[in-house]
Chains A and B, each alone.
Chain A
Amino acid sequence: MAFSNEQLERYSRHIILQEVGAKGQKKLMDAKVLIIGAGGLGAPAALYLAAAGVGTIGIADADEVDLSNLQRQVIHSTPDVGKAKVLSAKESMNAINPEVTVNTYQEFVDASNITDLIADYDFIIDGTDNFPAKFLINDACVLSKKPFSHAGIIRFKGQLMTYVPGAGPCYRCVFREPPPPEAVPTCRQAGVIGAIGGIIGSLQAMETVKFIIGKGDLLTGSLLTYDALKMEFRKIKLPKAKNCAVCGESPSILKPFDYEQAVCKL
């Protein structure tokens, strides 16, 4: 398939890059990426991937846009308050790039639907805000052999890693079990600076693009941490855990399962 004149112009800054070129742009246009969570991380990731011309983007989120989301979830605007997040996200993505097919899933992602949900996609972005969802996404992606980008943000800090099947540790290698919800402060006591989502979510989009075009080094076997107050990035080497319950030598997790959700919701 040849590019139209409009596509050549729209993606000219990509096509001129040696690492992307027409071939890489074509790969982006053929790619299918699923973003779970249209929040602080998912918002910038979705915007950059839509702008980049990723052909199909799935976005899953059960929630509606709340006024308290707008401080960081830049894909939603003030008139979107009360609207389904996936719909608001789709409108913003298609306003940037009408060529992108956006599939919306306005539902809670759980053990009953995650395997089917990820099956159609080449790469998954974890943009969720809670540990049960993060462990679920990890387990489902490991079991279905899907690459994914994990990230977490809190206050002035963020971190991310990339899982590629057969090439390094999974999230559960590093963190065995979600921490018990009663052991830690509730969401109201925490907080997050808006731009942290922009930085870490954009890094997730960058990992996705690199995976699709097959260039550069991914954060497989590494955790990149960012402390905004210290203005410090660190790349920490991550080993694989031989006894990992899902990707180890004798795994005990053979299908995705749900941990109990904490009562506190964002």
Chain B
Amino acid sequence: MKLTVSGNEKEYADGLSVAQLIELEKVETPQYVTVSVNDEFVESGAFAETSLNAGDIVEFLYFMGGGQYGF
């Protein structure tokens, strides 16, 4: 199935979950990333049980605070 992840359309395995996508895309600091699918936030506790569908638009949003915590 095709997904648009961070603005790039690519082919992914059917039935992929948000948690699996995070691992596949090697998302930095995965425990603190915010995920939106089709302009709705996915609760972080629901990453594993949320499966993606063809055509979904996924965005990863990262903490960026300045030098202090070093992201």
Contact = CB atoms under 8 A, between A and B. Distances in A.
A120 B64 CA distance: 28
A174 interface: yes
A262 B69 contact: yes
B67 A129 contact: yes
Interface residues of A, number: 40
B68 A264 contact: yes
Interface hub of B32, B64, B70 (most chain A Cβ within 10 A): B64
B7 A130 contact: no
A158 B61 contact: no
Q: Interface SS of chain B: helix, strand, loop or mixed? A: loop
A34 to B, nearest CB: 18
A239 B68 contact: no
B66 A130 contact: yes
Contacts of B69: 130-131, 179, 181, 184-187, 190, 262
A191 B59 CA distance: 25
Interface residues of B, number: 23
Contact of B67 (A190, A236, A238): A190
Contact of B66 (A153, A179, A184, A189): A153
Contacts of B41: 173-174, 239, 241
A154 B34 contact: no
A229 to B, nearest CB: 14
Given A39-B66, A152-B64, 6 more contacts: A130-B66, A154-B70, A158-B64, A183-B31, A184-B29, A190-B69
